[in-house]
Chains A and B, each alone.
Chain A
C-alpha cells in the first residue's frame, strides 16, 4: 500500500491566488514527520515545510502552510498569493519515526502551474 498519496497529478492556479495541494498518508506509527518539497526543472529538492506528528499547531513558513488533520491522516500544503516562480513539482513525504535517521518516502507529486 502506498504510504503517501497525492491525488492531483497537475494543478493550475491564477497568480496571486491561493492553492491547496493534497496529501494523505498511511502509518501505524505514533511518531512521524511530514515534509513538503518543491522541485523545479533544475531537479534540486527545495525544502518547504515540516510537520511533526506531535505538533498541535499547523506549521507555517512564509507563504506556505500545512493543513494537518491527524485523524484524517492528511497533510495538505497551502500556498498563498501564488507567484509565477511557484510553478514546479511538489512532493509530499513522510519519515518514520519523527527525527529518526531514516529515509523519506515520497508521494508521486503534483505539478503546479501558475498562470499570469
Chain B
C-alpha cells in the first residue's frame, strides 16, 4: 500500500535554532500534503496545506514566517521550524492522499530546549 515517510522521527534542538522535517511519499505522487501538529494529550490540528509548485496554505493562527513549507517535488514536502522555542515542542505529522485515500507519516517528535 501507499507509504508516507518522515525524517527525522525525533529531534532535539536548542532554542533559537531551525529544524527541518521532511515528508516523503514513497510510492506515489502527491501534489498536496497536509501538515498537522499535535501537542501532548491533544488532538491533531491542521497547520497548513502544502501544494507542489505553489505557496502553502496556512490555517488561521499559524505563522507563515515561522513554519516554512516547501513542496519542492511531487514526492517531497518539508516543514522548517525557524527560530524554534520550547513552545514549538510538539509532534508533527504529515499526510497525503493517494487516489482519494489518506495516508499519514509516522510523525516527528520535536523537543526544543
Contacts and interface: CB of A to CB of B under 8 A. Distances in A.
Interface of A: 35, 37, 43-45, 47, 91, 95, 99-101, 103-109
Given A95-B102, A108-B43, A109-B43, A103 B95 contact: yes
B36 to A, nearest CB: 8
A103 B91 contact: no
B43 A107 contact: yes
A109 to B, nearest CB: 5
Given A35-B102, A44-B104, A95-B102, A103 B93 contact: no
Nearest to A95: B102
B100 interface: yes
A43 B49 contact: no
Given A45-B104, A91-B44, A104 B32 contact: no
A75 to B, nearest CB: 16
Given A43-B91, A43-B107, A45-B104, A101 B43 contact: no
Contacts of B97: 101
Chain A: interface secondary structure? loop
Nearest to B47: A103
Contacts of B7: none
Interface of B: 31-32, 34, 36, 38, 42-46, 49, 91, 93, 95, 97, 100, 102, 104, 106-107, 109
A103 B49 contact: yes
B106 A44 contact: yes
A108 B95 contact: no
A103 B43 contact: no
Contacts of A43: 38, 91, 93, 106-107, 109
Given A37-B104, A43-B107, A103-B34, 16 more contacts: A43-B93, A43-B109, A44-B106, A44-B107, A45-B44, A45-B95, A45-B104, A45-B107, A95-B102, A101-B31, A103-B36, A103-B46, A103-B95, A104-B34, A105-B46, A108-B43
B43 A45 contact: no
